Amino acid sequence: MTERSVLHDTFTIERTYPATPSRVFAAFASEAAKDAWGDSSEAEAADPPGTSEFDFRAGGRERFSHKYEGRTYRYDGLYYDIIPDQRIVYGYEMYADDVRISVSLATIEFTKDGDGTALTWTEQGAYLDGIDGPEAPELRRGGISEQLDGLVPYLERGASDSPA
């Protein structure tokens, strides 16, 4: 029998962006926008055409896969609560080669901060069976932090690349 374990972790990441809450929120609300800023890693897409999904609404799903260092990772998310320009709450599962490695709940809050936006990302994760090792929570925090850093140049480019 395989040894089972769960490692729990909660983290919060705060960023301030040089754009209004509606502009920052919009960067999360469309697949094209998220593709433009959301992944700065060296992963390659693994989805056969037509298998990824992006349905940004309460009850909607976001699904995609990518290959990284010889493994196929799959993301399967469900949006629970979306308040335009204010918050997004969603849960997601991560799989490595079709084995569930984590289940997380994330809340993203957008608040006006002077001429910009303060973003607060809070995530609670259950990292399963040690598949990603004891550093799994720190790896997740680092990956999300890297993605949020990618949002800065996207927003600085201005409204010309805003989703329609």
Is 14 a residue whose pLDDT tops 90?
yes
| Whether 59 contacts 124, CB under 8 Å | no
The pTM assigned to this predicted structure is 0.89
The pLDDT value recorded for residue 48 is 64
Per-residue CA distances from 19 to 81, 111, 115, 161 (Å): 23, 11, 7, 13
At 160, is the pLDDT very low, low, confident or very high (cuts 50, 70, 90)? very low
At 3, is the pLDDT very low, low, confident or very high (cuts 50, 70, 90)? confident
Mean pLDDT of 12-16: 98
The pLDDT value recorded for residue 132 is 83
| Whether 4 contacts 129, CB under 8 Å | yes
- CATH class, 6-41+85-161 region: alpha beta
Strand partners, 36: none
The pLDDT value recorded for residue 131 is 86
- pLDDT tens readout for residues 44-82: 766 665 578 999 999 999 999 988 888 999 999 999 999
- pLDDT tens readout for residues 110-142: 999 999 999 999 999 999 998 888 999 999 999
**Mean pLDDT across the chain:** 90
| Whether 58 contacts 51, CB under 8 Å | no
The pLDDT value recorded for residue 162 is 45
- Domain-by-domain residue ranges, the chain? 6-41+85-161
Considering only CA atoms, which of 146, 143, 120, 122 is closest in space to residue 24? 120
Report helix, strand or coil for 70.
coil
Considering only CA atoms, which of 154, 156, 151, 118 is closest in space to residue 15? 118
